[in-house]
Amino acid sequence: MLSTAKKFIHHLAPGVIRPIHILWNQVIGFIFIVLAVVFGFRVFRGSEPPGLQLAGALFALLMGWLGVSSFWKARKISKS
């Protein structure tokens, strides 16, 4: 009986884990892109000193890149 349950789990796991992994990457990508947009708007508002504007711009670019790469990774997982 244990062998049958083990085979069932082994057969079922990829069908459940893969979509969860894709969804996780998409959710994380969405959060990163939202952070990039928020910091991007704050940078272009221009109410901070130039040093903070530069740091905010770099942070926004980093978050944007991480968001896009997370969506690319989710797409790569879904195609494999």
- Cα end-to-end distance, the chain, whole Å: 32
Measured from the Cβ of residue 39, the count of other Cβ atoms closer than 10 Å reads 20
Give the residue numbers spanning the domain of 70.
17-79
42 within domain boundaries: yes
1 within domain boundaries: no
66 within domain boundaries: yes
Phi, psi dihedral angles at 68 (to 5 degrees) = -65, -45
The pTM (predicted TM-score) of the whole model is 0.80
Number of structural domains, the chain?
1
pLDDT in tens, 38-69: 999 988 887 878 888 999 999 999 999 999 99
Q: What average pLDDT is seen over the chain? A: 90
23 within domain boundaries: yes
